[in-house]
Amino acid sequence: METRVELQAEVDAPREAVFALVSSAAGLARWLDAAEFEARVGGAVRLRLREAEVVGKIIALDPPQHVSFSWDYPDEPLRAPSVVAFDAIDHGHRTHLTLRHVGLATARSRDLHEALWRHWFPRLVRAAARPGVAAG
């Protein structure tokens, strides 16, 4: 059983600008409903995606290429830990952006998170393509 979600996009923006959207509270808040992000390994993550609240801890932070953090729901915890990772790879004036959500325990959880990311990931891509403009 596949227990991960992976989405990729080519973004017409420099890697540093794309990375800021996934590694800072201000950047995350441009494409999510709200975000708190303590940018250090072990730092707290709190995100709001519509009615869902997500909490976690930063596992790895390697600017401007990689950030990963644990992912759970305080009101309805997942049965197993899962991790969200973003990688930004430089392609000249463009950036190859990859999102991976790994460790999803069931097919149902994987399907729900795939639907979730298929909604939010395009907002991230739009925010990256339009600096300074919210992706709503």
pLDDT category at 78 given cuts 50, 70, 90 is confident
pLDDT category at 135 given cuts 50, 70, 90 is low
Q: What is the pLDDT of residue 16?
A: 95
For 128, phi then psi, to 5°, come to -65, -35
Cα 29 to Cα 1, 23, 47, 94, 127: the distances in Å are: 33, 11, 9, 22, 10
* Cα Rg of the chain (Å, integer): 14
* Residue closest to 75 by CA, chosen among 57, 48, 98: 48
pLDDT-wise least confident of 5-14, 50-59, 73-82, 104-113: 73-82
pLDDT mean across residues, the chain: 93
pLDDT in tens, 101-121: 999 999 999 999 999 999 999
Class of the CATH domain delimited by 5-129 = alpha beta
Q: Domain extents for the chain?
A: 5-129
Please check the confidence at residue 7 and state whether its pLDDT lies above 90.
Answer: yes
Please check the confidence at residue 61 and state whether its pLDDT lies above 90.
Answer: yes
64 DSSP assignment:
T
Q: Note the helical H segments in the chain.
A: 15-20, 25-29, 107-129
Please check the confidence at residue 133 and state whether its pLDDT lies above 70.
Answer: no
pLDDT in tens, 18-58: 999 999 999 999 999 999 999 999 999 999 999 999 999 99
